[in-house]
Amino acid sequence: MKSKIDQVTTNYNRLISCVLYQGGSDEILNTLYARGIFRAYYVAVRGSPIGRSSQIGKLPEIPKTEFLQVLVSADQADYIYQLIYETAHLYEVQKGIIYINRVSHSSDYSFPDNYQLLT
């Protein structure tokens, strides 16, 4: 007989994901870090929005697309979403997309007391 492991499901955290077609994650991360939000990262990816030429002249375009993720508490999610939306100018056409997901499992993450950010 298999033993059941009870898993705690929390509905308190949100994962904000953003695809930025023109880059700009550095500025967003600096803004988030200044506000004490350190559970964020980005990676460079390949891809471009539909309808955008993948070549400039006869040379291939160097993609600047970045994928940004930020884990925040539910009560901060709307504010951080709006901050990223405005900082990245996502209201403009072909700048990127942003969305929020509930996180079912997460653990607390914090830096040691003597940790200093490199700026």
State residue 23's pLDDT score.
Answer: 85
pLDDT digits (tens, 9 = 90+) for 29-40: 999 999 988 889
pLDDT digits (tens, 9 = 90+) for 26-69: 999 999 999 988 889 999 887 666 665 555 566 666 668 899 99
Q: Do the Cβ atoms of 84 and 28 come closer than 8 Å? A: yes
State residue 81's pLDDT score.
Answer: 96
| Domains of the chain listed by start with CATH number | 21-103 (3.30.70)
pLDDT digits (tens, 9 = 90+) for 75-112: 999 999 999 999 999 999 888 999 999 987 776 666 67
Strand ranges (DSSP E) for the chain?
13-20, 40-44, 55-56, 59-60, 66-73, 96-103
Q: Which two tokens stand for residue 81?
A: 């979403």
